[in-house]
Amino acid sequence: SAVISQKPSRDICQRGTSLTIQCQVDSQVTMMFWYRQQPGQSLTLIATANQGSEATYESGFVIDKFPISRPNLTFSTLTVSNMSPEDSSIYLCSVEGEGKNIQYFGAGTRLSVL
């Protein structure tokens, strides 16, 4: 399985600011994904981060609010822009190697917006 590191593990931010979350994997992976887990809820996919191309966003999520970078096969960032208290959630990165058919998750970033 892949070892996934997310930074920061938690943060408290003021409304109107932005936070960039990093996801680092210990091996090259084809697919990287970003999920959101709102308090007491299940996980929802935000977008698929494609290396060398634009991220693919799910319905209800837009690039202006959640810009994503994927500069290489081991790293991705998710930015939560112009935050409001409704953005308080756990944000999780997951990865899947080509042909592996298994996704592995990072520990998540717990974000609180005041």
Q: Return residues touching other proteins (CB under 8 A).
A: 1, 4, 31, 33, 42-45, 48, 56, 58, 92, 94, 96, 98-99, 101-108, 110
Shortest distance, position 82 Cβ to other proteins, whole Å: 26
Nearer to other proteins, 17 or 107 (CB): 107
Q: Is the Cβ of residue 28 or residue 82 nearer to other proteins in the bound state? A: 28
CA gap 108, 6 in Å, rounded:
6
How many angstroms separate the CA atoms of 7 and 23, rounded? 7
Q: Which of 4, 1, 3, 27 is nearest to 109 (CA)?
A: 4
Residue number, 1 or 82, with CB nearest to other proteins = 1
From the CB of 70, what's the least distance to other proteins, in Å?
A: 15
User: From CA 61, how far away is CA 78, in angstroms rounded?
Assistant: 12
- Assign 85 to helix, strand or coil: helix
Minimum CB distance to other proteins, residue 108 (Å): 5
Give the containing element (helix H, strand E) for 23.
strand 19-25
- Complex with other proteins: residue 18 or 44, whichever CB lies closer: 44
